[in-house]
Amino acid sequence: MKILVTGATGKVGQTFIQRFLAERNDGSLRAFCHHRMLESTDRLEVVQGSLANKADVDKAMEEITHVLHLATCKETPDDVIDVTVKGLFWLLENCRQNPNFQQFLMVGGDAAMGHFVYPHPVPVTEQQKHMPYQGCYALSKVLEEVMLEQYYIQYNLNGCCLRAPWIMEKDDFKFSLSFGEDVFGGPRWIELVGIKKADQYVKSQTIPILLDIEEQPIKRNFVHVEDLVSSILKAVDHPKAFQQLFNICMD
pLDDT of residue 91: 98
189 vs 234: CA distance, rounded Å:
37
pLDDT of residue 251: 67
pLDDT of residue 203: 94
What domains sit in the chain, N to C, each tagged with a CATH number?
2-165+220-247 (3.40.50.720), 171-219 (no CATH)
Q: Which residues of 5-26 are buried (b: 16+ CB within 10 A; e: fewer)?
A: bbbbbbbbbbbbbebbbeeeee
- All residue ranges of the chain with pLDDT < 50 are none
Q: Which residues of 214-235 are buried (b: 16+ CB within 10 A; e: fewer)?
A: eeeeeeebbbbbeebbbbbeeb
Tens of pLDDT, residue by residue over 156-175, are 999 999 999 989 998 888 88
